[in-house]
Amino acid sequence: MTRWLTRFALGGIALGVAVVFLRATLLAHHSFAVYYIEADTIEIEGDVVEFQYKNPHSWIFVAGTESAFGQPKVYGAEWVSLSQLERAGIDKKFFKPGDAIHIWASPNKNPTDNRVRLKRMERRSDGWKWMGNRGDTR
């Protein structure tokens, strides 16, 4: 009987750990439509402050001005996964602080949140372009 209870308890612990990991994975990967207005596009001109090369999504932070309202601030642009960046030839040193870029993005549903979802991007110094989730670069 004691062996059966031990197995039952260990099985319950294993199941609990599996549920925690599954829940964390599901929360990490979200629908963009939950946070962003996908039907709208804003344009932001500015300089790269930071490039976070990570999963599940990379982030590029830009100190700039949003064209419609002219508000200067730092925007966090949620991008694609590392595997998508690697397929496009983009590594963690691809962007440097101070790089001048122009981005097209979906605005956040919360107007006080500076996070946006990156749709398109162009780097001014060399004319490099990223044309969307297809991973097209020029």
Among 43, 31, 73, 76, CA closest to 58: 76
Q: pTM for this structure? A: 0.72
- Confidence at residue 51, expressed as pLDDT on a 0 to 100 scale: 97
The helix or strand, by DSSP H or E, that contains position 13, with its residue range, turns out to be: helix 2-28
Q: Which amino acid is at 76?
A: G
Residue 85 — φ and ψ, nearest 5°?
-65, -45
- Confidence at residue 30, expressed as pLDDT on a 0 to 100 scale: 56
- Confidence at residue 9, expressed as pLDDT on a 0 to 100 scale: 52
- Confidence at residue 128, expressed as pLDDT on a 0 to 100 scale: 96
For residue 15, count CB atoms less than 10 angstroms from its CB and return exposed for 0-12, middle for 13-18, buried for 19 or more.
exposed
Contact predicate 107/95, CB 8 Å? no
- Confidence at residue 23, expressed as pLDDT on a 0 to 100 scale: 45
* Residue 76 exposure: Cα atoms within 13 Å on the Cβ side: 13
In the chain, which residues have pLDDT < 50? 15-27
Domain 32-130 has CATH 2.40.10.220: no
What does the domain layout of the chain look like in residue ranges? Answer: 1-30, 32-130
Cβ–Cβ contacts within 10 Å for residue 99, how many? 19
